[in-house]
Structure 1
Amino acid sequence: MSSFTAFYRFLVLFFCCLLTFGSYFCFDIPSVLQDQFQGNLTCPNSTAGNGTSGNGTVECIEGLGMTPEEYNLLYAIYAWTNALVVIMAGFLTDKLGNRFGVFLFSFLVVLGSTVFALGSHFKGTKYLLPLMLTGRLIFGSGNGSLVIVQNRITAFWFKGKELALAFGLTVAFSRLGSILNFFLTQRFEAHFGMQWTLWGGTVLCVLGFLAAITVSALDKVGTRQLGLDGAIQEESRKVRVQDIRQFSLRYWLLVLTIMFFYNGIFPFIADASKFIQDKYSEYSQEEAAYVAGAVYDSSLVLCAAMGILIDYIGLRGVFAVGCALLTLPVFALLAFTFVPPLVSTIWLGVTYSFAAASMWSSFPLVVPQATLGTAIGIATSVQMIGVGLSNLVVGQILGTKSSKLWLVMVFLLANTICCIVTSVTLNVVDHHQGGTLNKTTKKSAPQESPSTADRDPLLAEQEEVDGDIPGQSSSINNS
């Protein structure tokens, strides 16, 4: 492959990485500003503040006046919208192509973030919660679907060449957006207020929309130059809804494993900042946000490396079990000890990095390439149903008069135990069906000759459906 073609592929990758940078920044803004979302509508001038006063008493924080249940509903409705939309989004993307999906879903992200920011201006009125929930609903319908399109574009352009690195970089850029949110949002809000902070997030989503237009144009020009347009359209016409019935037991066990693992991750991050402040009184809101953000800090550093490692050695099923087992102590430490929370959040970030690289990269090994978008869409849907229900449960626990923070950690611990059960079952079934998930890349995927790779490095062949794209990882909504 010529150096120009390699440059072109990485140019596509750069703009592909920018697709979800802003949306991941916006997604967790409520987590950083949880005190403001649940703060009082008004405060006496003498007591208004954003932290703890010098004598140790908590100052009044002026905010939107949401209850814990209403706050967690912002995350639950995002998850449920993903659950409903991503199945159809994956199928439509398989059927109509990446350019259609990337434009539509990035536009929905911008629209949703705009409505969400607009809703904050109706503080103290009956319109606040409906508008902000509507914004999260639209935002969720776009962001989860956008990740699927991002995966498909990356898989197409890096078929058989630097695939693990490419997917690791897309995950890293998404996590960078999340990390910058945890480091910058609270400071920005302290200087400019909540409304301008939410509008700032919307501006970042607009940048993602511009990246979508750019990557769509690059994809169109590149595929035309390579003479692949006709072949891609032919593959798209073959995709049918009935193909879902061909998904194996391994696929559904993998879906459940992912759901239970993320049931512990996302609800924790949504409430981590406030949990840390309430249990460890010496932490300010800003410090608690930094500690909570360490989950993403770890994954930013490790995701690309873990993707390459797992792409090289395989053992995806073993890593799935190991990640679940190693996550158990995280919630136990938070629930029953006063070990510094930074230990737990960094630890969780490490297991999260391995899980993202091992679990999501397993889908191309268990489903046909032509239905990969549909398969990931269904997996994301089931994952988000679980995460949405978990957010509601956490909200109910925190909303009770005698709320017990340790009980939240026990609930997350129970989800991790369920993840261990499903991942062990997955390995048993996989072993009886050839052990594809735990083979190394060289044994699980057919190898192309140099001449074939040079001639057609981008298009997945129909007969290479059983292990064609090792090393794929996803965020999410993922990641």
Structure 2
Amino acid sequence: CWSFVPGSYFCYDNPAALQTQVIQDMKLNTATFMQLYAWYSWPNVVLYHWFTVILLGTIIFSLFVCVGQVIFASGALLNRFWLMEVGRFVFGIGGESLAVAQNTYAVSWFKGKELNLVFGLQLSMARLGSTVNMNIMGWVYGKVEDLVGSPGHTTLGASLMIAAVTCLFSLSCALVLAFLDKRAERILQKEQGNTGEVIKLTDVKDFPFPLWLIFIICVCYYVAVFPFIGLGQVFFIEKFNFSPAEARAVNSIVYIISAPASPVLGFIVDKTGRNVIWVIIAVVATLCAHMMLAFTFWNPWIAMSLLGVSYSLLACALWPMVAFVVPEHQLGTAYGFMQSIQNLGLAVIAIAAGALLDTRGYLVLEVFFCACICLALMAVVMLYFVDYLRGGDLNRSASARAKLQKEATSASRYFSCRIRRQPSMMTHGELARLTPMSAFGLRNRYLSRLGTQLPDHYSTHLSSLSHRSVLK
């Protein structure tokens, strides 16, 4: 499951890794450049509810990723920016849907297990692709430039076509996964090609209020991370006078840190619980990182390292909370809808960030990102209090969750055994306790617990005629 996603993440940030080259070779401004990210996000605003069968979906969407990257590279080769946008649109159809497949697979395969650690591991594998992209695509462009003889759209297109090889690797992994999953279905006699979750748009109206707060946190947080990384290379060159190689390195530190840190942080969240508290810590740390980048000239490695740790921590603590607030049959819809509104936010903010940078500069852009993080902080604080008033399920400790799960399992087994027993094998007292209590009986039990002295003939098993006469 973790192997078929790195290829899509490698190619997702190709524009960020080659920001300077794309803008120069295709003769773009920043706002037009950020359209490459917007076109990736637009299809995923509405496509999440198409995703119903995981086994088949991983193969189909891996094909979309491959075809989209080839079209994107062809647009650069032919010096047709509109074709590059079409390629990113096709690429986006497959890219985010693969992420939905990955999340739903994880919850399906690791129910009641180390879910936070699993989310950390899958984030680690995904960001491994992003890290390699950030640090190698500039080198690939340079090697192709040496062969071609000069920079230009041909060099850019050839470099992007080489990157498409990683998408073929992801497709191969999806095919292997489909074979293994089909084999497991046959051995375990599972339902063919289905995870148990059915995507239904009508489920959205039943989402609880804490889930909507989780959606707000997700959108407001990620729009301050991914668009910033997409524009970060030139930012570090202009503000801190870094060389292009140094700028690519510091811009990729978020992904470099998240690769090894995500499993470790996921393990810590698993062992401690308190997901909401960890999300608060992650959001506050991210706000501090953006403020350092905006208002100081401190070494940006400090702020970006802090951003990398907080980004990993938020992913490990936030995404598993969806499984705590919705029933299992709505998980596919919930994760799909979460991806959908996240992509809507990313598409809109990508366009806005490019326009702000062209007209106002990096300082105003950083203030804008800080404002987005502040909205996420307000949402997570509200989530803390709402969850507290509802019993604190999201912020329970790991030991409390384990105890509740053990009690629920024991109760489920107990009632299953009682139901399987034949009525003839039950005593008269057991049958009486299993018989639903009438309204009259409930009223008398309530009065007796309050200390009210009831007549002897007010027993809980009077006839229906007596019930009606007394209640009048």
Q: Which band: TM-score by shorter chain?
A: 0.7 to 0.9
Q: Percent identity?
A: 31
Q: Which residue of 1 aligns with 2:207?
A: 247
Q: Which residue of 1 aligns with 2:11?
A: 26
Is 1:210 aligned to 2:172, yes or no? yes
Is 1:358 aligned to 2:320, yes or no? no
Q: 1:85 to 1:310 in 2, by over 3 A?
A: same
Residues 9, 129 of structure 2: 8 Å contact kept: yes
Q: Distance in 1 between matches of 2:341 and 2:69?
A: 24
The aligned runs of 1:360-375 (5 Å cut-off) are 360-375=319-334
Instruction: Give the C-alpha shift of residue 245 in structure 1.
Output: 1.8
Q: Which residue of 2 aligns with 1:143?
A: 95
Instruction: Give the C-alpha shift of residue 240 in structure 1.
Output: 3.9
Q: Pick from 353, 358, 370 the counterpart of residue 413 of structure 1.
A: 370
The aligned runs of 1:20-99 (5 Å cut-off) are 20-39=5-24, 63-86=25-48, 88-89=49-50, 92-93=51-52, 97-99=53-55
Residues 108, 195 of structure 2: 8 Å contact kept: no
Q: Pick from 311, 330, 351 the counterpart of residue 289 of structure 2.
A: 330
The aligned runs of 1:248-327 (5 Å cut-off) are 248-281=208-241, 283-327=242-286
Instruction: Give the C-alpha shift of residue 353 in structure 1.
Output: 0.8
Q: 1:247 to 1:331 in 2, by over 3 A?
A: same
Q: Pick from 156, 166, 170 the counterpart of residue 118 of structure 2.
A: 166
Q: Deviations over 1:164-196 (max 9, x none)?
A: 433322211111100101111101110113222
The aligned runs of 1:436-475 (5 Å cut-off) are 436-444=393-401, 446-447=404-405
Q: Deviations over 1:3-42 (max 9, x none)?
A: xxxxxxxxxxxxx111111111101111111111111xxx
Q: Which residue of 2 aligns with 1:465?
A: none
Instruction: Give the C-alpha shift of residue 341 in structure 1.
Output: 1.2
Q: Distance in 1 between matches of 2:57 and 2:101?
A: 6
Q: 1:361 to 1:406 in 2, by over 3 A?
A: same
Q: Distance in 1 between matches of 2:377 and 2:194?
A: 41
User: What 5-or-longer segments of structure 2 have no aligned partner?
Assistant: 145-154, 411-472
Amino acid at match of 1:447: Q
Amino acid at match of 2:204: I
Q: Deviations over 1:202-226 (max 9, x none)?
A: 1110110111111011011112201
Amino acid at match of 1:197: S
Secondary structure of the residue that 1:435 maps to in structure 2? coil
Q: Distance in 2 between matches of 1:233 and 1:158?
A: 15
Q: Distance in 1 between matches of 2:32 and 2:259?
A: 30
Instruction: Give the C-alpha shift of residue 289 in structure 1.
Output: 0.4
Secondary structure of the residue that 1:444 maps to in structure 2? helix
Q: 1:163 to 1:19 in 2, by over 3 A?
A: same
Secondary structure of the residue that 2:352 maps to in structure 1? helix
Q: Distance in 1 between matches of 2:37 and 2:219?
A: 16
Q: Pick from 66, 71, 90 the counterpart of residue 115 of structure 1.
A: 71
Q: Which has the larger radius of gyration?
A: 2
Normalised to the residue count of structure 2, the TM-score between the two structures is: 0.81
Q: Deviations over 1:218-245 (max 9, x none)?
A: 0111122012226x85945x76432222
Q: Distance in 1 between matches of 2:61 and 2:38?
A: 20
Amino acid at match of 2:77: H
Q: Pick from 104, 109, 114 the counterpart of residue 152 of structure 1.
A: 104
Q: Distance in 1 between matches of 2:265 and 2:247?
A: 27
Q: Distance in 2 between matches of 1:234 and 1:158?
A: 12
Q: Deviations over 1:235-275 (max 9, x none)?
A: 45x76432222110000011001110111101110001111
Q: Which residue of 2 aligns with 1:60?
A: none
Instruction: Give the C-alpha shift of residue 162 in structure 1.
Output: 4.3
Q: 1:370 to 1:441 in 2, by over 3 A?
A: farther
Q: Which residue of 1 aligns with 2:418?
A: none
Amino acid at match of 1:247: F
- How many residues in Structure 1 have an aligned counterpart in Structure 2? 398
Q: Deviations over 1:414-459 (max 9, x none)?
A: 001111111111111111111111012343365369x99xxxxxxx
Q: 1:276 to 1:234 in 2, by over 3 A?
A: closer
Q: Which residue of 1 aligns with 2:86?
A: 134
Q: 1:222 to 1:344 in 2, by over 3 A?
A: same
